[in-house]
Amino acid sequence: MTPQESEQLDDILSRFWKGESSLEEEAWLRLKSINEELPDHLAELGAYFEAVVPDEGLDDCFDDEVLEAIGQRNVRRLGFSRKTILYAAAIALFAIGAWFFARESSPQNNQTAQQEEVMEAWEQTRAALKQVGGKLHQAKGHAAFMNRFEPVGITLQKNPTK
């Protein structure tokens, strides 16, 4: 083994024992140890890697094996997988969304909404016109009151007081 490979091996081993090595590095260590390409002081590492099987995850039968091991073989299980339930939920959400969209975008609802908007605009315009009309009526009364003093103002302009 070259000095460079020895350094690489020491680095990977230190990270392996700390739990920081990658799966590729662990596979490389396993291959080196099984093929007996390790230095003599690491010979027992080959036995370790032969005894330890890489974790490939749990398969679908894991629950059955555990229940069988503890003696509960006749436990009833639902036949739906997590994936099937997620697909069903996605389809249900899509159907509800499509129903709401269809309901909101129907021509009858659009026409009703437009009619409501027109009625609201008409009511606002009517209220504004009433307010303007009331102010004009007040202004007309105020102007009439002021017009009563116009002759007095003209007289005062002709005969200014000294």
Q: What is the pLDDT of residues 12-59, one digit of tens each?
A: 888 888 888 888 888 888 887 777 677 777 777 777 777 765 655 566
Containing domain of residue 19, as a range?
3-51
Residue 75 domain flag: no
Which tokens in the block code for residue 119? 């009625």
Residue 158 domain flag: yes
Q: Which one-letter amino acid corresponds to residue 72?
A: Q
Query: If you ran DSSP here, which 8-state letter would residue 21 be given?
Result: -
pLDDT of residue 60: 60
Residue 62 domain flag: no
- pTM of the entire structure? 0.32
Split into its structural domains, the chain has a count of 2
Residue 130 domain flag: yes
Place of tokens 């009331």: 134
Residue 102 domain flag: no
Query: If you ran DSSP here, which 8-state letter would residue 41 be given?
Result: G
